[in-house]
Amino acid sequence: MRVAMTMAAGTALALAGCSQVVETGVADHLEQAGVPAGMAQCMAQMWTERLSAQQLVRLGRSAAEMAEARQQGSPLVDVVNRAEALNDPQIVEVVTQSAVTCVGQI
């Protein structure tokens, strides 16, 4: 029983560490796409809490493409538009909600 509890605690810590790595990666992609650092960190935290790993991979690809094709104008509008293009209502909801919530973190 004690070994099982120790393993469960170790697994939880490993997942928490992995989650932080993912969150940092998401924030980095957003910053490269032109989203201000504080806002990118806030948005990344919300995304990693509310979206699945597959959804985050899809968003990550989109953010990487955004960084490559960085356009004039609002990177935030571009993030929301690219989220909508993924045709996943949950992604659209989380991205839009995070943009509104995190706008004060600029």
Q: Residue 47: which pLDDT band, with cuts at 50, 70 and 90?
A: very high
What are the boundaries of each domain within the chain? 20-105
User: Helix/strand/coil (H, E, C) string of 23-80?
Assistant: HHHHHHHHHHCCCCHHHHHHHHHHHHHHCCHHHHHHHHHHHHHHHHCCCCCCHHHHHH
27-42 burial string, b = 16+ CB within 10 Å, else e? bbbbbbbbbbeebbbb
Q: Residue 12: which pLDDT band, with cuts at 50, 70 and 90?
A: very low
Does the structure show a pLDDT above 70 at 70?
Answer: no
Question: Which of 59-63, 78-82, 84-88 has the largest mean confidence?
Answer: 84-88
